[in-house]
Structure 1
Amino acid sequence: MDEKPPPGRPWQRRRFLAALGAGAGTAALLTVPTGASAAPRPDQAAPAKRTGWAAAATQNGWPVIGSDRASRLRVEGANATVALLPGTTAAVLLHVARRFHYEVDSIETINGHRSDRRVAAAYESNYLSGTAIELLPGRFPAGARDGLFPHELATVRDILAECEGVVRWGGDHRTLPKEGHFQIDVRPGDGRLRRVAVRIREWTEKPGQGAGTAPDIFSRPRLAAASGLADRQRASA
């Protein structure tokens, strides 16, 4: 049976308004460039030149795979499926997609593994290994910034912190941001990835935990974790 999404967006807006003024951590977490108020039009994204990715491994260190090694998996709660490298990587990326669907915007389109080696930026190579997803490409074209409202941005930061930094967000890329892009950001065999994947799987067996539970993203501990990780990941983008 499908999970039913909670009343996420109205709840998040109420929590966002209540949290304003909570402190410097909140302000830093929600900082967006001047003029950000709504999703960008696709024509705001400058065309990107694509080159061929020739390496045997993708930017995050995972081997390039053929379509026969990618599994098409369902995003629970959404009417969407995505091709990913099965296992721990898929477990974590599907969790990201579920939370995004429940708390940010309904996922109608999601891209995953692909065989086309033409990339506009190195991070796009990660689709070749099935270790990256692209949510709502029509809403978040490559090169466009400021496509998230502040409470949506705070939710994305909370998702990344919940994944303990094993996932990186394309919105932090300095030269070609893609705000619908999320990728595994650790090498194969990294114990942190397995730890996060195990915890996510445990949540599916316990009511009131995991995606669909509308966490209090503006609680002080969650804000601190999200803000600290945001600082580290933006510095290395």
Structure 2
Amino acid sequence: MTLNISRRAALRRVAFVAAGVAVGSQVLSLPARAADKDPEPDKVREAIRRAQERNKRVLTGTPSKNGWEMEKTVDSHGHIYTRPVPATPLAGVQMRMAEVETVLVHVVRRFHYEIDTLRKGEVLGWQTPGSVRKGLAESNLASGTAVRIRPGSYPSGARGGFYPMEELVIRDILADCEGVVRWGGDDGRPDESLFYIDVPPGDERLTKVAEKLRHWAYTPGKGAGVLVDPLQPQRRKAAKRLAGRQS
């Protein structure tokens, strides 16, 4: 009886080891088999090819003055699209989407409500990289991070296009944006029609301001369209503080 049990145990052990060796040999052979297969399926290769073609067609690899990349085209799978400006007659303005759009639309809408009514075609956004001077703030137009409001009324190089009360409103709008927007009227070579993002890509301040403005848009008594008093002491103080930093 003892001999028979030992033989059965021995046979089970031999069978277990043999099975383990077989499984191990299969595992070790997997990389060799995988190597025989194409690690980059046709769909992946095609997606990469399309992305490369898109980048070649859209991107320039050159930053505008504020650090955002200039783009060659709009409405063409890049970052710059024709975006609506709600509650205005404007048909749409070409600008960079997401946070930049939120902030610049706020600027345009407050101008429309509190400085003067804007008509179709009076706000210009993106311009081709070849049409702007790279070393000046106007280059930000080519990265979709700037707008020009009535450029014919406020020509580049000239100051004094706005009445004092209108400039107070501009200062109040800039204070809303907490320094992430700069007015071209404060530049060494003034361009009073120009408003542009004044922080680089990825700056957390832009995200913070955009979130605030989105919240205002859904809060009664807040945001563009709600008339405010730019002479209110707290608002005036904030506007003056920012003007001092940006001058």
TM-score of the pair, normalised by structure 2: 0.70
What is the aligned partner in structure 2 of residue 58 from structure 1?
A: 64
1:117 and 1:158 map into 2 onto residues whose CA distance is 33
What is the aligned partner in structure 1 of residue 12 from structure 2?
A: none
The structure number with the bigger radius of gyration is 2
Q: Deviations over 1:102-131 (max 9, x none)?
A: 001112211101114233451011011100
1:85 and 1:147 map into 2 onto residues whose CA distance is 27
What is the aligned partner in structure 1 of residue 39 from structure 2?
A: none
Q: How does 1:121-160 map to 2 (within 5 A)?
A: 122-160=136-174
What is the aligned partner in structure 1 of residue 193 from structure 2?
A: 180
1:76 aligns with 2:70: no
Q: How does 1:174-213 map to 2 (within 5 A)?
A: 174-175=188-189, 177-213=190-226
1:111 aligns with 2:124: yes
Please tell me the residue identity of whatever aligns with 1:178.
D
**Secondary structure class of the residue paired with 2:148:** strand
Q: How far did residue 215 of structure 1 move?
A: 1.1
2:81 and 2:161 map into 1 onto residues whose CA distance is 30
**Secondary structure class of the residue paired with 2:195:** strand
1:142 and 1:75 map into 2 onto residues whose CA distance is 24
For the 8 Å contact 1:142–1:178, the answer to whether it is kept is: yes
What is the aligned partner in structure 1 of residue 96 from structure 2?
A: 85
What is the aligned partner in structure 1 of residue 26 from structure 2?
A: none
2:113 and 2:225 map into 1 onto residues whose CA distance is 6
For the 8 Å contact 1:117–1:125, the answer to whether it is kept is: no
What is the aligned partner in structure 2 of residue 231 from structure 1?
A: 244
Please tell me the residue identity of whatever aligns with 2:111.
F
Q: Out of 98, 105, 109, which is 2:109 matched to?
A: 98
- Structural RMSD (CA): 1.4
Which runs of no fewer than 5 residues in structure 2 stay unpaired? Answer: 1-59
Which runs of no fewer than 5 residues in structure 1 stay unpaired? Answer: 1-53
Please tell me the residue identity of whatever aligns with 1:73.
R
For the 8 Å contact 1:135–1:180, the answer to whether it is kept is: yes
2:226 and 2:108 map into 1 onto residues whose CA distance is 14
Q: Deviations over 1:127-162 (max 9, x none)?
A: 111000000112111112101001100000010011
Please tell me the residue identity of whatever aligns with 1:127.
L
1:116 and 1:184 map into 2 onto residues whose CA distance is 17
What is the aligned partner in structure 2 of residue 15 from structure 1?
A: none
More helix by share: 2
| Over 6 Å off, 4+ runs | none
Q: How far did residue 93 of structure 1 move?
A: 0.3
Alignment length (residue pairs): 180
**Secondary structure class of the residue paired with 2:70:** coil
TM-score of the pair, normalised by structure 1: 0.73
2:191 and 2:146 map into 1 onto residues whose CA distance is 12
